[in-house]
Structure 1
Amino acid sequence: MKKNHPENFRANNRRYIYILLGLIINLCLGSVYSWSVFRKPLEQVFKLSATESSLPYMFFLVFYAISMPLVGRVLDKFGPRMVSIVGGILVGIGWILAGFSNSLKYLVLGYGIIAGTGVGIAYGVPIAVSAKWFEDKRGFAVGLTVLGFGMSPLITAPIARKLIQIYGPLLTFRIIGVVFLIVVILLSIPLKFPFREKRTDERSKTKNDILSCSPTEMVKTKTFWALWFCFVVGTLSGLMAIGISSPVGQEIIKLSAEAAAVSVSIFAIFNGIGRPFFGWLTDKITPRFAAIFNFSLMFLASVGMFFAKEGMTLLFLITFSLLWLSLGGWLSIAPTATAQFFGTIHYSKNYGILFTGYGVGAILGNLISGKIRDIFGSYIFNFYITAILSIIGILIAFFYLKPVKNNQF
């Protein structure tokens, strides 16, 4: 931050408010990670298969990822306040419309497409704000900001479960939608960027020999594609685990619906912790080695699930906690690496493009997990896939996830 400018000097001591605002906004947006609590009730109401009940969640994540690059193009023009408010309106409307659904297609439209687009619009705003206010400790600040997204199920999963028991899944959608509409709009109002936030790239260029890349320049580098593929692998495995957490607990470990919902809340703690932890780790040991460590944890968790059987609650808690931790980590590694590798001048656009990897991971993860359950009758075979993908991720990160040099173009 440019401390010699009066506006930034006054804001220096209160810049942490942007982390707090972003964290609370992300608590609302991250409720998508509580989807597994809705799956069984919706399967009963609409007579859905496992694949069908994953579709609203999948469409949510896809439109969430699709809208991110679009936001990157307008965020600097319209400012964080306006963009975040628009996103909050769509999130609330989407949840409310989902509550009036009478079939799967309307669930997909309301929850998946409209709410998913709203989250995609709003999600990147607090991240960009924190990244530009905290360029001295960017990874940690971004990690704290997205902590709310990962920790959301800790709060929203038990609340949603209780509301579903009392009112059913559809009225629960409406209640939550109204709350999100109000909260996100109100907390978006104070959001703003620091004055002349572009100034640090010249410093980083001379200090670290790293270019400030435009989106066109970025996509021509091997580093971008390595980061993109690592992001796909990390999110595919993590989102697959998140989407099946409650069903796996009930079907394989034989937990009650209530116990499975509690376990989702426990996993949310690790998803949340993974964000500031891996943000800090990325600052300390570089994105390359943070990614390798992340994939190693994912591999160990996947192998652990090979042995999961009825009654093995501790194994279930450990393995899924690691998987949620790993996904949370990628939601810090990816934005921090984008700024470190490609600079902050075009950060909003560049991270929006990278975030398409999240959408690809969401589509593949949900289609694979649902199909495997429908074909083989068990979710356990998903973990053979995540184990293999983890090894691939380690290899890509080790050989190709390196800083962009001046001669790379």
Structure 2
Amino acid sequence: MITTYSRLVKNRYFTLALAFLINAALGSVYSYGVFRSGLENHWGIGALESGLPYTVFLAFFAITMPFGGALIEKAGEKRAILIGAAVLGAGWILAGFSGDIRTLAAFYGVLGGGGVGLAYGAPLNLALKLFPDRKGLAMGVTLAGFGLSPVFSAPLIRRAILEAGPVEAFAWSGAVLAGTVALLSLFLRRPPAHPHAHTALGMAALPDHDYDTREMIRSPRFYAIWVSFAAACAIGLSVIGMTPSFAIDVVGISPAGSTAALMIFSAFNALGRPAFGYLSDRVGPGAAGSASFVLVFCAAAALYVLPASRWAFAAAFALLWLNLGAWLAVAPAATAFFFGFTHQPRNYGIVYTAYGAGAIAGVSLASWIKETTGSYTSALLPMATAALLMAIFSYFSLRKEPENKRRAHIHFTRSEIRSGRT
């Protein structure tokens, strides 16, 4: 019995499943839209104010990612997740005692977002080290849990709101989510120090040089990834924040129907991660990222022409949610592809600050447009224009390197490994 358990825990597919489930609990921020109408009615506030905790959460999520990367390298994935779960739980529980929206933003946004930022990179790093031969796909599968979170967390939060009210529901929901993360992390084991330890195919995924963070930020590739990721997040996170309100106010769907739509769209958010992770492995991050922006352009343009159509709403928002999932897989895969495995937690922590910048820009702009024009539909034309420009930019700035160069450095790396210089 003990031997069977030991083999299961050491199995890399079991670890990948745990990483998926941990991310499913961490990704509850995608269900924040369920709180918004209740908070607006409870405190008599508008869309700009009700979006403040969501914006602060996403900003501190991104700000703490570099610290999370350093924590992973120093303490390991399990401890990073446990510490993150503790901070996350404290933030949600304290938010349940808030007397106004700014206090809620401080607890839920700063502590809740910070807790997720400390833990978020750990499941990704596990996937990268355990599946170096399919890094994009493995990280995409792990991230799919984050995207699917509303399937599990939205009904939990909706029930907590009905039972306890829109503010107190934060405490009940947070205790359950943080406890789930902590429990699942207890079964994790640290991955091998060298990615190729699991599979010889992993050597083919090794870059020609592992960049440390200082080297990375001097590379034009870093800024290309950062700008593309920030733009994708600005679009995707503004869409996620506006989805329930757009469904109710523009399309005329009931609150219960908007919650159901949120759960369906979250599946597309989740699907985008392994799909575009796999695509990034096959055609490179530039082509994969560009393809996602083309889909955003098509969706935003269609929704601008037919804003009140339920069919257009369903198809367009599915594609828009897919885009955020796409870049959340393309960005870490691109970071590993161009800068190597060794410093991935710290490097991707820096790249991930683009998520925070995109969150602040996208959510604030969408809320401001809603406040000034009375509708989210006015945000669609700028969204379509930005997506078209970014499709061109990401394609040319993040091209996959020529295959002959890849083969040359793979041969060198294998010789280096055999000679013991790893």
Whether these two folds match at TM > 0.5 is yes
**Letter matched to residue 25 of structure 1:** I
Which of 397-406 and 48-57 deviates more?
A: 397-406
- Please list the CA deviations of residues 154-176 of structure 1 after superposition, one character each: whole Å capped at 9, or x if unmatched: 22223322332232112211111
Match of 2:24 in 1: 27
Question: The residue matched to 1:255 in structure 2 has which SS?
Answer: coil
Question: The residue matched to 1:210 in structure 2 has which SS?
Answer: coil
How many residue pairs are counted as aligned between the two chains?
Answer: 396
The structure 2 residue matched to 1:87, chosen from 84, 107, 116, is: 84
Shift of the 390–179 alpha-carbon distance from structure 1 to 2, 3 Å rule, reads: same
Tell me the C-alpha RMSD between the 2 structures.
2.1
Match of 1:223 in 2: 221
Match of 2:414 in 1: none
Match of 2:372 in 1: 375
Regions of 4+ moved over 6 Å: 9-13, 202-209
Question: The residue matched to 1:196 in structure 2 has which SS?
Answer: coil
Question: The residue matched to 1:158 in structure 2 has which SS?
Answer: helix
Shift of the 251–38 alpha-carbon distance from structure 1 to 2, 3 Å rule, reads: same
Q: Does the CA contact (< 8 Å) of 1:61 and 1:359 recur in 2?
A: yes
Shift of the alpha carbon at 1:11? 7.9
Output aligned runs, 1:32-43, within 5 Å.
32-43=29-40
Structure 1 gaps of 5+ residues are: 1-8
CA distance in 2, matches of 1:203, 1:69: 29
Which of 112-121 and 167-176 deviates more?
A: 167-176
Q: Does the CA contact (< 8 Å) of 1:133 and 1:193 recur in 2?
A: no
- Please list the CA deviations of residues 190-240 of structure 1 after superposition, one character each: whole Å capped at 9, or x if unmatched: 33332322668x998998763211111111111111111110111110001
CA distance in 1, matches of 2:43, 2:205: 58
Match of 2:172 in 1: 175
Match of 2:136 in 1: 139
- Please list the CA deviations of residues 125-176 of structure 1 after superposition, one character each: whole Å capped at 9, or x if unmatched: 1001111111111111111111110001122223322332232112211111
Identity, in percent, stands at: 37
Structure 2 gaps of 5+ residues are: 1-5, 407-422
Question: The residue matched to 1:146 in structure 2 has which SS?
Answer: helix
CA distance in 1, matches of 2:62, 2:10: 33
Q: Does the CA contact (< 8 Å) of 2:132 and 2:202 recur in 1?
A: no
CA distance in 2, matches of 1:336, 1:171: 39
Match of 1:349 in 2: 346
- Please list the CA deviations of residues 48-81 of structure 1 after superposition, one character each: whole Å capped at 9, or x if unmatched: 1110011000000000000001111221111111
Q: Does the CA contact (< 8 Å) of 1:278 and 1:290 recur in 2?
A: yes
Match of 1:332 in 2: 329
Shift of the 226–46 alpha-carbon distance from structure 1 to 2, 3 Å rule, reads: same
Q: Does the CA contact (< 8 Å) of 1:129 and 1:191 recur in 2?
A: no
Shift of the alpha carbon at 1:403? 5.2
The structure 2 residue matched to 1:164, chosen from 144, 156, 161, is: 161
When the two structures are superposed, what TM-score results if normalisation uses the length of structure 1? 0.92
Question: The residue matched to 1:195 in structure 2 has which SS?
Answer: coil
Output aligned runs, 1:7-406, within 5 Å.
14-197=11-194, 210-310=208-308, 312-402=309-399
Match of 1:6 in 2: none
Q: Does the CA contact (< 8 Å) of 2:60 and 2:109 recur in 1?
A: yes
